[in-house]
Amino acid sequence: MDLRSFHIDWDLERQGALDQARHQRRLREAIKAQLSEIITEEQIITAQGGKILKIPIKTLEHYRFRFNPHQGVDVGQTGSPLQGDISLTMPSSPKSQGENPGCQDIPGLDYYEVDVSIDEIDDVLFSQLGLPDLQAKPVRTSAACQPQFKDVRDRGLMANLDKRRSLQQNLLRHARVGQPQIGPWTSHDLRFRTWQMDPEPTHNAVVIAMRDISGSMGDLKKRVARTFAAWMLKFLRSRYESVEEVFIVHHTEAREVAQEDFFALGESGGTKVSSAYALCQHVIETQYPAEQWNIYAVHFSDGDNWSETDNQRARDYLEHILPGVNLFGYAEIREGSYPSTLMNQFRHIEHPHFKTVMLSHLKDVYPALLHFFPLSQEA
C-alpha cells in the first residue's frame, strides 16, 4: 500500500475549534454592542457568578444569499442588478419597519436565545473599565493564607521529599568515611520540605456609596441608582482581592446602613446633601486615612436639595474630601435634560478626582460607568 496516497487535511481537523472560537468572538461582540441593555436586567444584576442565563442576542445571524421569490425561475445568474434587488441580507433594524410593522410585508428582526454565563458578561463589561488615579498605598495582610515552603527538616511526608537535599546528605555521609558514592540509603539521609501559612499582602481599597432617599427619588431614579451602584461594586471587587464597603443614605439626615438597606430603603422626607458629605468626610478621617487607602466615593441623587445654602455647604465638604480620594463621582438622576442647582454648583469645581454625570434612563448606566472608570487611566 502506498502511504503517500493518504493525505490528512489538518484544516478540516481544526475546523471545529476554529468555528467555536469564531462563535465566541462574535458572541462577545454582540454582548459588547448590547451592554447598555443587558446590564440593566434585574436577573443579571442579582445573579451570582457562574450562573448560566438565556439572553436574547441580536446580530448573530450569518450573511447569506437570498433570491427574490417574485422573479420566477431565476437561479442567481450574473447580470446587472436592478434597483431594489437584494442579494446579501442581514436582519433589518426595528427602526426600518415603520410605526406599524405588523401590517407590513417585510421580514421581522430575528433574536437568538443563547446561553451566557454571568462571568462572561462581567468579563466583557470589566474589560471596558479602568481604575482612575490608582496609587500605590501601604499594603496590609489579608485573611487569605498561602502555604510557603520555607524550611527543610529530617522528618516529614514522603510527598514532600526534597530529592536534591536528600542526595546531598547521602553523598556527604559517604564522603566522611572515604567512600565518595551514592547509596546505600538510610533514613538519616532524607530531607523533607515543610511549609508555613503566611498571610498574603493586599492593597487597601474602600468604596463609599451614598444614596439620596428623599421623597423626590421615585422608582425609576431608585432603580438607576441601584443598577449603577451594583455594577460599580462588582467591578471594584474584581480589581481588589478585598474591598471595604461603606453605605450611606440620606434625606435631611445621613446615616450609615447595611448593604441590603442601601438597595432596599424607600423614599421619604426632604433633602440635605451636606449631611451625607459630612458623614463621608468623618468616615474617611476616622476609619480610612487617605495615605493608606484607595478611596472611591459615589453619590446618587436627583439634585433637588433643600436650599442654595446647603448646596454651598455640600460643596465645601466636597472640596475637603477631594484631595484624599481616587474618585468622587456625583451621579445626578433626572428625568429632564436640565441640571439641578446642585449640579450647577458642582460645575464650578475643577479637580482631576471629581466627575459628574447626568442619567435620565437605565440605558445611561453603561456610559456613566465608562465615564467614571475610563480604561485609558488604568495604572
Please compute the mean of the pLDDT values over residues 128-152 and round it to a whole number: 66
Whether 347 and 318 have beta carbons less than 8 Å apart is answered as no
Residue 157 confidence (pLDDT): 79
The pLDDT confidence band at residue 201, using thresholds 50, 70 and 90, is low
Residue 95: pLDDT above 60? no
Domains of the chain: 11-63+111-127 (no CATH), 142-201 (no CATH), 203-377 (3.40.50.410)
Q: What is the mean pLDDT of residues 242-263?
A: 92
pLDDT > 80? residue 144: no
pLDDT at 259: 92
Alpha-carbon gap, residue 331 to 343, rounded angstroms: 9
Residue 150: per-residue pLDDT = 66
Q: How many CB atoms lie within 10 A of CB 213?
A: 22
Task: Inform me whether the pLDDT recorded for 140 exceeds 90.
Answer: no
pLDDT classification of 129: cutoffs 50, 70, 90: very high
Per-residue pLDDT tens over the stretch 208-225: 999 999 988 888 899 999
Residue 90 banded pLDDT, cuts 50, 70, 90: very low
pTM (two decimals): 0.67
Model confidence at 93: pLDDT above 50: no
Task: Determine the pLDDT at residue 296.
Answer: 94
Mean pLDDT, residues 341-362 taken together: 92
The pLDDT score that the predictor gives to residue 274 is 95
pLDDT for residue 327: 93
Range from 2-16, 41-55, 188-202 carrying the lowest mean pLDDT: 2-16
- In this prediction, residues 250-268 reach a mean pLDDT of 91
- How does pLDDT run across 304-315, given as a tens digit for each residue? 998 999 999 999
Q: Which three cell numbers stand for residue 324?
A: 484624599
**By C-alpha distance, which of 238, 208, 242, 246 is closest to 131?**
238
Question: Mean pLDDT of all residues in the chain?
Answer: 79
If one compares 317 and 335, the residue with the highest pLDDT of the two is 317
Among 75-84, 129-138, 165-174, 353-362, name the one with the lowest average pLDDT.
75-84
Of 93-107, 122-136, 165-179, the one with minimum mean pLDDT is 93-107
pLDDT digits (tens, 9 = 90+) for 154-189: 877 788 888 888 888 888 888 888 888 888 888 888
Q: Which residue has the higher pLDDT, 61 or 33?
A: 33
Distance CA 19, CA 100 (A): 38
Q: Residue 94: pLDDT band by 50, 70, 90 thresholds?
A: very low
Q: CB of 190 within 8 A of CB of 161? A: yes
pLDDT value at 63 more than 70 = no
Residues 44-71: what's their mean pLDDT?
65
